[in-house]
């Protein structure tokens, strides 16, 4: 394959990706997967590199990194789509600690198997999410997500986990962050509307899911289908420490629903607002706060997944 561009985040996996990239590139080329490497130098640079790769004729872009890398590369592809420009297909060479996006599609994390899946895989068309929100600077802004977005406690969890080295791995880092944030988080009066159907009450979190996993393997929305044109929206009510302790093990297995303090809704447009602005997260990144509007974009991306 000659029309491939690797979009590399050298800081992913605690900086190991940058150090290992020469060997990664060699292994990929030896397996028949060679192409230009565009290496980011700062956060937020990858969407522009996607546009450069597309302009240079790439038909497949490979996101080399974790969930944040996938989000940036997908955002670049979705920006092309929004301008009615032709967007390359997306593949992922997982190099992060959480690697939650690839779990839904069973994309391997082992290097040689991941390379083989990119080389020999099939194309699956998937949905994405477009989000209107309030930036930290107070201005209205727009962002994208392909895995899971949220408003509430999980935004603070993601911020805390991302501020650590994640040396113990994604699962341990996100679990520790969840327990630490929950210990001091107070539920907020939140208004949620899903396709016009409203809920109002004390909530810890509102998850807007295109895929199934977040937080280093938590299968919060186990039936989310990334190509059905709908979000799975999980509203977490006023849970207690006992609720959390009893439910967390089941969350990793995806067997926690139904739950008396959670409600699952499905829809294409979701509004979330609160009297006190809540942090939002998009694929683990924290760009701002509520009020937020989440809208499904059906068939937004072509993703390379393992052979059937």
Q: Is the pLDDT of residue 74 over 50?
A: yes
pLDDT, average across residues 177-185: 89
Q: Which pLDDT value is given to residue 102?
A: 98
pLDDT, average across residues 51-60: 97
Domain with CATH 3.40.50.10330 in the chain: 4-120
pLDDT, average across residues 171-198: 91
- For residues 83 and 79, what is the distance between their CA atoms, to the nearest angstrom? 6
pLDDT, average across residues 66-85: 96
Q: Is the pLDDT of residue 164 over 90?
A: no
- Position 166 confidence tier, pLDDT thresholds 50, 70, 90: low
Residue 82: CB atoms within 10 A of its CB come to 14
- Residues of the chain above pLDDT 70, percent: 97
Q: Is there a cis peptide before residue 38, judged by omega within 30 degrees of 0?
A: no
pLDDT in tens, 2-41: 599 999 999 999 899 999 999 999 999 999 999 999 999 9
Q: Which pLDDT value is given to residue 167?
A: 64
- For residues 176 and 157, what is the distance between their CA atoms, to the nearest angstrom? 9
Residue 223: CB atoms within 10 A of its CB come to 13
**DSSP SS3 for 231:** strand
- Position 165 confidence tier, pLDDT thresholds 50, 70, 90: low
Strand ranges, E, within the chain: 4-8, 36-39, 60-65, 89-94, 122-135, 140-145, 148-152, 188-194, 197-203, 205-209, 231-236, 262-267, 269-274, 279-282, 285-305
Q: Which residues contact 52 (CB under 8 A, 6 or more apart)?
A: 38
The CA distances from residue 58 to 29, 86, 88, in Å, are 16, 10, 6
Residue 108 has phi, psi (to 5 degrees) of -65, 150
Say which CATH architecture domain 4-120 belongs to: 3-Layer(aba) Sandwich (3.40)
- Residues of the chain above pLDDT 90, percent: 87
Q: Is the pLDDT of residue 1 over 50?
A: no
Domain with CATH 2.60.200.40 in the chain: 128-298
pLDDT in tens, 119-140: 999 999 999 999 999 999 999 9
Say which CATH architecture domain 128-298 belongs to: Sandwich (2.60)
- Position 156 confidence tier, pLDDT thresholds 50, 70, 90: confident
Q: Is the pLDDT of residue 160 over 60?
A: yes
- Contact between 149 and 283 under an 8 Å Cβ cutoff? The reply is yes
pLDDT, average across residues 168-189: 86
pLDDT, average across residues 71-84: 97
């Amino acid at each position: 394959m000659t029309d491939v561009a690797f979009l590399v985040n050298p800081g992913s996996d605690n900086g190991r990706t940058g150090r290992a990239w020469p060997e990664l590139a060699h292994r990929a080329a030896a397996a028949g997967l060679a192409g230009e490497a565009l290496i980011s130098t700062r956060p937020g640079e990858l969407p522009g590199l996607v546009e450069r790769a597309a302009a240079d004729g790439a038909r497949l872009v490979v996101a080399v990194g974790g969930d944040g890398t996938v989000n940036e590369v997908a955002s670049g592809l979705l920006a092309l789509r929004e301008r009615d420009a032709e967007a390359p297909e997306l593949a992922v060479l997982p190099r992060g600690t959480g690697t939650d996006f690839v779990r839904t599609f069973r994309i391997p994390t082992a290097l040689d198997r991941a390379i083989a899946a990119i080389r020999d895989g099939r194309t699956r068309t998937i949905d994405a999410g477009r989000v209107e929100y309030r930036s930290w600077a107070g201005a209205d802004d727009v962002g994208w997500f392909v895995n899971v977005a949220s408003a509430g406690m999980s935004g603070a969890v993601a911020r805390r986990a991302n501020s650590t080295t994640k040396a113990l791995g994604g699962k341990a880092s996100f679990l520790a962050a969840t327990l630490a944030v929950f210990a001091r988080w107070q539920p907020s009066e939140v208004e949620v509307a899903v396709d016009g159907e409203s809920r109002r009450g004390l909530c810890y979190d509102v998850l807007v899911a295109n895929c199934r996993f977040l937080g280093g393997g938590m299968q919060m929305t186990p039936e989310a289908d990334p190509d059905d044109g709908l979000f799975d929206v999980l509203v977490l009510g006023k849970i207690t420490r006992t609720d959390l302790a009893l439910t967390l093990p089941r969350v990793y297995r995806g067997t926690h629903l139904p739950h008396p303090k959670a409600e699952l809704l499905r829809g294409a447009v979701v509004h979330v607002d609160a009297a006190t602005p809540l942090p939002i997260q998009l694929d683990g990144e924290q760009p701002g706060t509520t009020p937020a509007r989440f809208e499904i974009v059906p068939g937004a991306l072509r993703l390379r997944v393992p052979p059937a």
